[in-house]
């Protein structure tokens, strides 16, 4: 599983990245969490508002910081 955190490096983007890492650890799943900070790379995902979270190519949220619980649900499918 690959999780992309999209954002130019603002506080909300850092919080989204931290929440994603915490959720992956708490859920006990194998996942790579990566930051995407370059605008041209973010645009490839079709995202116009950051922060955004993408799991295996699917945009799960854009424009707000997802909670650890929400991310856990997405990565476990439960």
- Residue 13: active-site member: yes
* Tens digits of residue pLDDT in 49-76: 999 999 999 999 999 999 999 999 999 9
- Residue 10: active-site member: yes
User: What pLDDT does 63 receive?
Assistant: 96
First to last CA, the chain: 15
Pick the catalytic residue from 5, 13, 20, 54: 13
Pick the catalytic residue from 2, 8, 9, 10: 10
Domains of the chain from N-terminus onward: 2-76 (3.40.30.10)
Closest CA to 60 of 1, 18, 8, 4: 4
Phi/psi at 5 (nearest 5 deg)?
-105, 115
């Amino acid at each position: 599983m690959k999780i992309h955190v999209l954002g130019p490096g603002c506080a909300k983007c850092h919080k989204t990245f931290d929440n994603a890492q915490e959720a992956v650890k708490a859920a006990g799943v194998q996942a790579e969490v990566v930051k995407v900070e370059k605008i041209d790379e973010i645009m490839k995902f079709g995202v116009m508002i950051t922060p955004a979270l993408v799991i295996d190519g699917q945009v799960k949220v854009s424009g707000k910081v997802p909670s650890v619980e929400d991310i856990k649900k997405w990565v476990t499918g439960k």
